[in-house]
Structure 1
Amino acid sequence: MKMMRGQNFFKGELKLLILKSLTKEPLHGYKLMKTIEACCMNLWKPTPGSLYPALEELKKQGLITVKKEAKTGRRKKEYEITALGRKKHLELAKNIEGLEKEFLQMHKDPELSQYTIEDGMYLLNTIKSLVTGELAGYKGTMLEFAMLSRQGKVSKKQEEEFKNAVIAFVKKTKQ
């Protein structure tokens, strides 16, 4: 059975896809779009309106550079990943790999094995809509908490209290 991913899934991962594509070789914009499209199994292709702003943001973050610009004909910039960009790509790829491992582990549980990747993506999109909707005013607080937790500056008890508070809030908003 072929599992389909929604195009919004790929759009949300555009920067990771750019970094992944540039780990192989420097590319100009059009070739980058084609490479990303192939990487997404032709289910999604970034538009110039999404690709070029993402490239500019990655450039500002020091994750990519412009290797060279064509001097004749149509103006083409060739983008190259930096050492910092390679490091960031590996970090992001580990997170994705971790999610894939969790999903595969979940399928070993007979109670959960009935669910597909689409169900998992739907759940993630639901969580995302909560964060951008009902919980939008608390986004900064949640990100701060996530950062502190990731850095080991939050106790297990505090993590549990935070999770319980978010769950209680979500239950309350869904009544």
Structure 2
Amino acid sequence: MKGIFDEKQPGPEFARGRFERGRGRRGPHGHRGPGFGPGFGPGFGQGFGPGFGPGFGPGFGRGGRRASRGDVRAAILSLLAEAPSNGYGLIKTIAAKTGGIWRPSPGSIYPTLQQLVDEGLIEALSEGRGTEFSLTDAGKAYVAEHAEEMENAWNAEPDSADRDFHQSIGKLMGAIHQFRTGVTEEQRGAAIEKMDETRRALYKILAD
């Protein structure tokens, strides 16, 4: 069956690659940007953001909560029960509703939308870029009959150990950010040496 996304870009997040936006100049030690470049922005920019943004968010976004395909499906249905939306809007709403803990990727949202269309639970309200979807009568009945499933889609949280680990990474990246500008060659060289030591120490932990 021909899919609704076969001949069009499903949303603006596909327009430019994430890493293309983060491409910076190479500094004196072969690293991006002056130190790290726009890919690390204020608060590390789009890749890391305040609280480390969409990539890391409070609880680290995608990395902080591993959603199953069932979670994504139920989340989409529960949100469309509230109001029609397009794929990009669903991604933003899920991230906002979970305080940035969960930000599903376009690669999980759009195939799930197609699957729900195929199942007759949702329908496209238009065609082309930014297509909005709404529940069909069958979809409304499904949501009503599976209220617990809809609620459980929002209940999973990262455990404390996972959260502590990600917070520690955030603190480390915050310290690294200080070397982005306004440091001497000697300070930057000392930082690189320390980061290399830390990397080797981490690999040693894995080897023990």
What is the TM-score with the length of structure 1 in the denominator? 0.46
Instruction: Name the structure with the higher helix share.
Output: 1
What is the TM-score with the length of structure 2 in the denominator? 0.40
